[in-house]
């Protein structure tokens, strides 16, 4: 309990002000991602509120912000469209059946994410290589930048067209002013969050100067949200279970979407957790974050929210504004709800240009500019992975990019280590030929390992010494067994020395006769072997 209180707020003033800043930036993001997913803006706002509140209170990373995200929205949209089509075809048509399907799916998503935390799968994010991490932040920075470009457009006869003339000039000037304030203010004072001050200054100019510019309110109305931000408290979806029957024949779509959403949400959240760890020089709890994310998504399903995960842009805004404790996330979530309940008319007057300027500064702060400096200094394979992950993040989505990057890095690692196996040969005075094995023995190196031996032409006595080698998996065990059997079939004497106790156990399971050829020593290595036989 004492540790929890310590994480609540190391600096209440900074956390409160940064939470307010984040809440202002959350509004257009939640609304925009609602349109992407094909749901009402209030569903996205409820989702951002519940995700933000639950993860701030119970999550594993104080200072990290969660809400409705684009990465999850693009996964939801196909299922929602399918559900709406089915709803219109029912005997008693249901206009927004896809949204009800979403709520049911979020219950499964939440359960999967909680299980990931319970089984401590969150720790695997620390296995993600640094080039993948750099590619992730670069790709995400580009995605955030590109998403802001649509805000330089206006709705004309049902189509988005670029602003022209004075409108574009005013928009760019206000964006530049916001960025300038955020850059210069910290050089003067750090007592006021630069993003919040910039938003207030630009909003004052547009309101009191009566400038005709795009605002949060016009953005919502252009997207089809006729009621703007006006809403009520999230309410329990009493009709939810009545829609389960409509899923007959569609469970495969629901379950597959749930698995993808759970994976995307956890990957983005855990990657963001890692990034905030680096920025704050502290360490979060990935497993706890998994459980909190899952609980928040279940709550979204029960109370009509869009669901979501950690948001890297808002998390960086929070950290840069001084938010370090749970209070910042709690403040952001509660303030967002207050906007919906009481402050809609004021928030709708905030110019979009101010929020775009804030997000552009986030892009600048997120992008790993050092990657340009080191690209020629790191191994070619790592440079390729970095660029590939960035490109796939922009082209596809975050989850696919990270998984592809991890796979590519793993293959590169396996290939390099596969060529490291060596066998030094020497003869003893009694005519025994000794093979001194050096390097890792695993699935990638077993072929090279096997090629080192010449069973037919070797003398009658053979010794294979593993003092400088590590057998890493079941493939390595099988390779040793196969080589030993070749010599035994030729009636030659063979000794296996300096094997770990687990290697010996596994070899004896494969062939009890190996007891006579395995030689024990006090300096045998101690390590475990990754093998299916460990079950």
Summarised one tens digit per residue, pLDDT across range 382-410 is 999 999 999 998 888 777 888 899 999 98
DSSP result, 488-535: HHTT-EEEEES--HHHHHHHHHH-GGGGGTEE--TT------B-GGG-
Contact criterion met (CB below 8 Å) for 113 and 262: yes
Domain contains 394: no
Contact criterion met (CB below 8 Å) for 61 and 289: yes
- SS3 call for 411: helix
Which of 216, 232, 219 minimizes the C-alpha distance to 337?
232
Give the pLDDT band of residue 157 (cuts 50, 70, 90): confident
- Provide mean pLDDT across the span 501-507: 90
Per-residue pLDDT, 5: 72
> Which structural domain, as residue segments, surrounds residue 515?
419-534
- SS3 call for 67: strand
Per-residue pLDDT, 533: 47
Which of 121, 132, 133, 136 minimizes the C-alpha distance to 412?
132
Which of 55, 48, 43, 36 minimizes the C-alpha distance to 101?
43
Question: How many CB atoms sit inside 10 A of residue 467's CB?
Answer: 14
Domain contains 143: yes
Instruction: Please report the sign of the dihedral spanned by the C-alpha atoms of residue 355, residue 359, residue 365, residue 369.
Output: negative
Give the pLDDT band of residue 225 (cuts 50, 70, 90): low
Distance CA(339)–CA(346), nearest Å, equals 8
Question: By CB neighbour count within 10 A (0-12 exposed, 13-18 middle, 19+ buried), where does 471 fall?
Answer: buried
Q: Which position has the token pair 């916001």?
A: 178
Ranked by mean pLDDT, the top range of 78-92, 105-119, 261-275, 499-513 is 105-119
Tokens of 3: 């540790």
- Answer yes or no: do 384 and 424 share one domain: no
**In 95-129, which residue ranges form alpha helices assigned H by DSSP?**
97-118
- Answer yes or no: do 378 and 425 share one domain: no
pLDDT tens digit string along 405-423? 999 998 998 888 888 899 9
pLDDT tens digit string along 337-380? 998 888 888 888 989 899 888 888 888 887 889 899 999 899 99
Distance CA(170)–CA(211), nearest Å, equals 9
Question: By CB neighbour count within 10 A (0-12 exposed, 13-18 middle, 19+ buried), where does 373 fall?
Answer: exposed
Of 105-119, 279-293, 392-406, 488-502, which gets the smallest average pLDDT? 392-406
Distance CA(158)–CA(151), nearest Å, equals 15
Which are the contacts of 483, defined by CB distance < 8 A and separation ≥ 6? 449, 450, 453, 455, 464
Q: Which of 337, 372, 389 is the last residue before a domain boundary?
A: 389
- Answer yes or no: do 265 and 139 share one domain: yes
Give the pLDDT band of residue 535 (cuts 50, 70, 90): very low
**Residues facing 422 on adjacent strands:** 438
- Answer yes or no: do 278 and 357 share one domain: yes
Domain contains 129: yes
Q: What value does the CA radius of gyration of the chain take, rounded to a whole number of Å?
A: 29
Q: Which of 389, 405, 438 is the last residue before a domain boundary?
A: 389
Distance CA(148)–CA(371), nearest Å, equals 23
Per-residue pLDDT, 1: 62
Which of 204, 195, 399 minimizes the C-alpha distance to 314?
195
Domain contains 49: yes
Per-residue pLDDT, 252: 94
- Answer yes or no: do 181 and 311 share one domain: yes
How far is CA 67 from each of CA 55, 174, 269, 276, 454, rounded to the nearest angstrom? 9, 27, 10, 16, 62
Q: Which position has the token pair 């963001």?
A: 272
Helix (H) or strand (E) run with residue 437 in it: strand 433-441
How far is CA 256 from each of CA 72, 112, 393, rounded to the nearest angstrom? 13, 12, 21
Give the pLDDT band of residue 305 (cuts 50, 70, 90): very high
Mean pLDDT of the chain: 89
- Answer yes or no: do 376 and 447 share one domain: no
- Answer yes or no: do 66 and 179 share one domain: yes
- Answer yes or no: do 335 and 425 share one domain: no
Query: For the chain, what percent of residues have pLDDT higher than 90?
Result: 52
- Answer yes or no: do 120 and 15 share one domain: yes
Going by their DSSP bridges, the two strands 461-471 and 493-497 should be labelled as: parallel
Question: By CB neighbour count within 10 A (0-12 exposed, 13-18 middle, 19+ buried), where does 188 fall?
Answer: exposed
Domain contains 399: no
Residue 241 gets which letter from DSSP? G
Domain contains 397: no
Q: Which of 389, 406, 428 is the last residue before a domain boundary?
A: 389
Q: How far apart are the first and last CA of the chain?
A: 38
- Answer yes or no: do 26 and 124 share one domain: yes
**Residues facing 160 on adjacent strands:** 155
Q: Is the pLDDT of residue 223 over 70?
A: no
- Answer yes or no: do 148 and 50 share one domain: yes
The number of domains in the chain is 2
Q: Is the pLDDT of residue 94 over 90?
A: no
Per-residue pLDDT, 288: 95
Q: Is the pLDDT of residue 196 over 60?
A: yes
Tokens of 131: 């080039």
Query: For the chain, what percent of residues have pLDDT higher than 70?
Result: 97
Going by their DSSP bridges, the two strands 153-156 and 159-162 should be labelled as: antiparallel
- Answer yes or no: do 329 and 461 share one domain: no
Q: Give, in degrees to the nearest 5, the angle at Cα 301 between 110 and 310.
A: 55
Distance CA(325)–CA(126), nearest Å, equals 23
Which of 517, 334, 392, 318 minimizes the C-alpha distance to 131?
392
Q: Give, in degrees to the nearest 5, the angle at Cα 232 between 38 and 354.
A: 65
Distance CA(259)–CA(51), nearest Å, equals 18
Q: Which position has the token pair 């035994």?
A: 488
- Cα-flanking dihedrals φ and ψ of residue 193, to 5°? -60, 125
Of 88-92, 106-110, 129-133, 329-333, which gets the smallest average pLDDT? 88-92
Helix (H) or strand (E) run with residue 461 in it: strand 461-471
Domain contains 85: yes
Report the CATH number at residue 497: 3.30.750.24
Domain contains 400: no
Per-residue pLDDT, 498: 92
Of 42-56, 125-139, 282-296, which gets the smallest average pLDDT? 125-139
């Amino acid at each position: 309990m004492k540790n929890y209180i310590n994480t609540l707020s190391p600096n209440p003033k900074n956390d409160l002000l940064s939470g307010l800043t984040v809440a202002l930036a959350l509004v257009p993001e939640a609304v925009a991602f609602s349109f992407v997913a094909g749901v009402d803006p209030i569903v996205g706002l409820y989702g951002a509120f519940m995700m933000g509140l639950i993860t701030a209170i119970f999550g594993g990373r104080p200072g990290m912000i969660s809400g409705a995200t684009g990465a999850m929205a693009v996964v939801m949209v196909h299922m929602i469209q399918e559900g709406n089509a089915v709803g219109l075809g029912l005997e008693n048509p249901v206009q927004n059946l896809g949204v009800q399907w979403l709520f049911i799916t979020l219950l499964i998503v939440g359960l999967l994410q909680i299980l990931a935390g319970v089984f401590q799968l969150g720790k695997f994010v620390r296995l993600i290589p640094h080039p993948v991490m750099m590619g992730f932040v670069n790709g995400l920075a580009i995605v955030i930048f590109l998403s802001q470009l649509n805000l330089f457009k206006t709705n004309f006869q049902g189509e988005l067209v670029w602003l022209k003339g004075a409108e574009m000039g005013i928009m760019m000037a206000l964006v530049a002013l916001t960025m300038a304030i955020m850059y210069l203010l910290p050089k003067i004072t750090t007592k006021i969050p630069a993003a919040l001050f910039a938003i207030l200054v630009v909003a004052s100019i547009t309101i009191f100067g009566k400038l005709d510019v795009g605002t949060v309110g016009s953005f919502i109305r252009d997207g089809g949200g006729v009621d703007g931000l006006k809403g009520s408290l999230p309410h329990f979806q009493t009709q939810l279970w009545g829609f389960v029957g409509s899923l007959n024949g569609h469970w495969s779509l629901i379950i597959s979407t749930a698995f993808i959403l759970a994976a995307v949400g956890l990957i983005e959240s855990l990657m963001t957790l890692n990034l905030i760890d680096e920025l704050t020089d502290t360490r979060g709890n990935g497993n706890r974050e998994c459980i909190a994310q899952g609980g928040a998504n279940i709550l979204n399903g029960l109370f009509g929210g869009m669901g979501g995960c950690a948001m890297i842009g808002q998390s960086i805004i929070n950290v840069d504004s001084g938010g370090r404790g749970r209070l910042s996330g709690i403040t952001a979530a509660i303030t967002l709800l207050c906007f919906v309940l009481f402050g809609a008319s004021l928030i709708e007057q905030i110019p979009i240009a101010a929020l775009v300027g804030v997000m552009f500064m986030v892009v600048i702060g997120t992008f790993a500019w050092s990657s340009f400096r080191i690209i020629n200094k790191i191994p070619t394979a790592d440079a390729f992975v970095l660029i590939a992950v960035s490109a796939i993040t922009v082209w596809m989505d975050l989850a696919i990019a990270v998984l592809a990057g991890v796979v590519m890095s793993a293959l590169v690692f396996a290939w390099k280590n596969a060529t490291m196996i060596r066998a030094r040969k020497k003869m003893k005075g009694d005519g025994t030929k000794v093979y001194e094995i050096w390097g890792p023995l695993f699935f990638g190196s077993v072929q090279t390992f096997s090629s080192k031996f010449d069973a037919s032409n070797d003398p009658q006595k053979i010794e294979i010494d593993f003092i400088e080698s590590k057998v890493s998996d079941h493939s390595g065990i099988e390779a040793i067994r196969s080589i030993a059997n070749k010599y035994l079939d030729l009636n030659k004497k063979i000794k296996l020395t300096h094997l770990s106790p687990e290697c010996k156990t596994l070899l004896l399971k494969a062939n009890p006769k190996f007891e006579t050829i395995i030689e024990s020593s006090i300096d045998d290595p101690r390590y475990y072997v990754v093998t299916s036989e460990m079950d």
